[in-house]
Amino acid sequence: MSTTTSPLSINAFPAWARLNDVQFDTTQLAETEGKGLGLVAKDSLTTRTTTTTTTTTATTATTAPTTTTATAPTDVANVSTQGNGDVGENPRTLLRIPHDLVLSAAAVKEYANVDQNFRQLLEVAGQQSTRHDIMLYLMTHLIMSTRGHTGPRGCASSPWTEYVKFLPRFIPIPTMWAEDERALLQGTSLEAALEAKLSTLTREFDDLREKSSALAFWNSLFWEKDTATRQDWILADAWYRSRCLELPRAGDAMVPALDMVNHSHRPTAYYEEDDQDGVVLILRPGVEVTGGEEVTITYGEAKSAAEMLFSYGFIDPDSAAHELVLPLDSMPDDPLGKAKLHAFEGRPTLKLSRTDAGLQWSSPFAYFMCLNEEDGLDFGVLQDTDGERQLRLFWQEEDVTGRAHEFETLIEGHPLQQVFKLRVVAVLHELVSTQLMHLGSDFSLDQLEPLRRSGQVREECIRAAGALRELEASVLEIAAERLDEQALFRQHGQVADQLMTSIWHLQTGIDLLSFPIGWLRPRQMLGDFPRFLTPSIPLKLTKRLRI
């Protein structure tokens, strides 16, 4: 990816690459237009075979940001695991990185076996996740390389001790933006996610300091003179999130040199592991790259603008992924709210996507949160033979534990199915309308101009935030219109009939749906019903019915 200022000039990189057996084949690192550093072809490149290519988007579990109310984009292994179909004759290798340079979970453990001090740090403050262990490794080498900690009191050196000197000290992802720059994201889907991420990073750094201060070596290296700072930890996280790949065998890993290859919506190369567990960059079949042209990969074809900005610091203008994800809170007065969150086992969200086919939305938790005890939802506690207590979920007296994501399907066939869907639409419409109103708060370029001139707000942050706000506003506006249409249709159409029919049946025992078509329908008999049950009343009819 593109880089900004680093302590060591990129002119020194070829020497490091030769020393560590990184092989460039008719390619080299050079400045690219609008992207900073990238990989370019020395000569024209082509392949003789044309095949169908495939890209599988990498998805890995992550612990940050972790919150029940904020939804953040995935922040590890954000570049796709890439491959091709039948490559046929002699695929063109552009770059080869040996296995011992790949920074993975296994590599961190191997380093701990070599360096006793790092092993102690890993034992007391690590072994939480691959991300966390790699960040400890990066933090260690960052401090060693930039603070002059060498000699007998330093950790064992590795190729990464020098490589981190080539890495930028600023990456334009929002966690590294200044406070005034982060304010540009207010009202976007990244606002809550960014706040949660920064809180997580602060908590992780404080935890690292508390646990490692008791170790004499690390107290001297990191803390006695405040050598290691929270900003260093944020930088290590930024390196990891913006440069980490998911490899088929090595898993989440950082790969020197390959992490300098930029993204394109129309990539010309892909990467994979070779038979020696090294990593190779290969020209895509059927692709031609002229001399001086940039060689690119894809960081993920289906990533939203928010995900791209959150992890890489830019928004791909050519991406067709126009979507956003909003956090969805449980109802504050719901007595089953905490139990629902526990049973759901995931972040409650609303995903909105705009495509050529129109707007699509998905929110499994919304169907769950809009159901109540009166509808047939229940919880129970089961105690097994070992004394362990388990929360069980029931719907219509059937045990549906582990199926909390399936209530859109589970409510099918219920007499009040359309009423349940009306509740969902009402909840989501309110969420979207609130978000749209929040996004519409003041964002004036004229007001930002003094901050830009004084250097308090960077131009690239203004452009990125503006692009995100514009895209998300367009999706939210369409979503609000579509949900409003659905709410009106359900409130005054089939739902009203179904609601009146169900209530009449409950009160009289008479099933109106079995009557001949010519008989009166429910809404023609509203005079026999209490006033609060008429469809002209707002969606929240009564607390008892919870409609």
CATH of 322-492, one of 1.20.1740, 3.60.21, 3.90.1420, 3.40.50: 3.90.1420
Residue whose token pair is 């262990």: 133
SS3 label, residue 284? coil
pLDDT tens digits, 485-516: 877 665 555 555 555 555 555 555 544 444 44
Instruction: Give 525's pLDDT tier (boundaries 50, 70, 90).
Output: very low
Superfamily for the 10-312 domain: set domain protein methyltransferase, domain 1 (3.90.1410.10)
Say whether pLDDT at 293 is over 90: no
Say whether pLDDT at 85 is over 70: no
Residue 226 is predicted with a pLDDT of 85
Say whether pLDDT at 270 is over 70: yes
Beta strand pairing status for 103-104 and 288-289? unpaired
What phi and psi, each to the nearest 5 degrees, are found at residue 294?
-75, 140
- What is d(CA 325, CA 191) in angstroms, rounded to the nearest whole number? 12
SS3 label, residue 478? helix
C-alpha angle 535-537-540 in degrees, rounded to nearest 5: 105
325 neighbors 71 (Cβ within 8 angstroms)? yes
Say whether pLDDT at 80 is over 50: no
Query: Average pLDDT of the chain?
Result: 80
Residue 444 is predicted with a pLDDT of 64
* Residue range(s) in the chain whose domain bears CATH number 3.90.1410.10: 10-312
pLDDT tens digits, 90-104: 678 999 999 999 999
pLDDT tens digits, 246-267: 888 888 999 999 999 988 888 9
* Residue range(s) in the chain whose domain bears CATH number 3.90.1420: 322-492
Average pLDDT on 216-235 reads 92
Residue 155 is predicted with a pLDDT of 83
Nearest by Cα to 332 from 344, 324, 323, 341: 341
pTM for this entry? 0.79
